[in-house]
């Protein structure tokens, strides 16, 4: 493949160096006056859920339940503030450089993430992503209910990517995908050209077995 028609990019710890959802939550709590120790406790509960056997999908849903009663507009505003604070040291520069080069040569960029628009919109703007496939929190009259339409995790990433490919008339022969975690494998399986990012041991074995490039 020379230049792919479509580039599917996982966001957290792939395109950017942090988990956007938790970095953003820390920002929100800080701006609400929470002390560092209390913010750490709030964030730790998600790690504890994972250690206790909760799936990534369950952790994702638990995260968005915490935003019940928040205005979507208010969170979007804070998403811009969060991004402005973090942008100078946010990106995995090699991934950003590669997708910028591909975009300049005509590739369409799509972000695929368990995160949501408060975090993803400024990132998409920066990297010229035309499509955002993220978790969509449900709102009523602009206020989040704490529920999501579906968490964009695991198999849902692959399904969403396939739907986008079908809508654009693009086959996997003309797709490149970037991911860092085993939960990204359904997304990576949508592409002929696959790039594994980061040091996750399971993903490094996956890359070695398939002869994939790693970053």
pTM value? 0.95
Contacts with 45 (C-beta within 8 Å, 6 or more apart), sequence order:
none
For 6-15, 46-55, 89-98, 106-115, which range has the lowest pLDDT when averaged over its residues? 46-55
Name every residue whose Cβ is closer than 8 Å to that of residue 56 and which is 6 or more positions away in sequence.
50, 114, 151, 153, 154, 183
What are the pLDDT digits (tens) for 52-87? 999 989 999 999 999 999 999 999 999 999 999 999
Q: What pLDDT is attached to residue 50?
A: 87
Residue 44: the pLDDT is: 95
Taking only the tens place, the pLDDT of each residue in 24-57 is: 999 999 999 999 999 999 999 998 998 999 998 9
- Measured CA to CA, the distance from residue 74 to residue 72 in angstroms comes to 5
In this structure, what token pair is assigned to residue 89?
């040291």
| Residues facing residue 109 across a β-bridge | 7
Q: Tell me how far apart the alpha carbons of residues 131 and 124 are, in angstroms, rounded to a whole number.
A: 8
Q: How high is the mean pLDDT of the chain?
A: 96
- Nearest C-alpha neighbor of 134 from the set 12, 6, 1, 2: 12
Residue-wise pLDDT tens digits, 146-193? 999 989 999 999 999 999 999 999 999 999 999 999 999 999 999 999
User: Which pLDDT score, from 0 to 100, does residue 137 have?
Assistant: 97
Helix (H) and strand (E) counts in the chain: 9, 8
Q: Which CATH class is domain 6-214?
A: alpha beta
Q: What is the arithmetic mean of pLDDT over 130-159?
A: 96
Place of tokens 């490094």: 204
Q: Looking at residue 1, what is its pLDDT?
A: 52
Q: How far is CA 52 from the centre of its chain?
A: 23
pLDDT of the residue at 109: 98
Rounded CA-CA distance 126/46 in Å is 28
Q: Where are the domains of the chain?
A: 6-214
Residue 103 neighbours by CB distance under 10 Å: 17
Contact 126, 87 (CB under 8 A): yes
**What are the tokens at 163?**
């739907």
pLDDT over threshold 80, residue 2: no
């Amino acid at each position: 493949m020379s230049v792919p028609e479509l580039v599917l990019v996982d966001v957290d710890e792939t395109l950017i160096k942090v988990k956007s959802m938790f970095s953003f939550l820390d920002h929100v709590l800080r701006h609400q006056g929470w002390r560092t120790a209390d913010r750490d406790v709030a964030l730790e509960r998600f790690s504890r859920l994972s250690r206790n056997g909760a799936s990534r999908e369950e952790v994702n849903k638990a995260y968005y339940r915490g935003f019940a009663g928040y205005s979507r507009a208010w969170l979007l505003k804070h998403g811009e503030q969060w991004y402005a604070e973090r942008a100078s040291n946010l990106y995995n520069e090699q991934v950003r450089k590669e997708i910028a080069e591909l975009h300049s040569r005509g590739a369409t960029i799509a972000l695929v993430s368990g995160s949501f628009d408060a975090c993803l919109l400024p990132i998409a703007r920066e990297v010229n992503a035309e499509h955002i496939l993220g978790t969509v929190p449900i709102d009523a009259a602009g206020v989040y209910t704490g529920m999501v339409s579906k968490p964009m995790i695991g198999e849902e990433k692959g399904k969403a990517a396939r739907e986008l490919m079908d809508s654009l008339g693009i086959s996997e022969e003309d797709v490149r995908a970037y991911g860092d975690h085993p939960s990204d494998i359904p997304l990576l399986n949508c592409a002929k050209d696959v790039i594994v990012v980061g040091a996750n041991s399971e993903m490094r074995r996956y890359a070695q077995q398939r002869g994939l490039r790693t970053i």
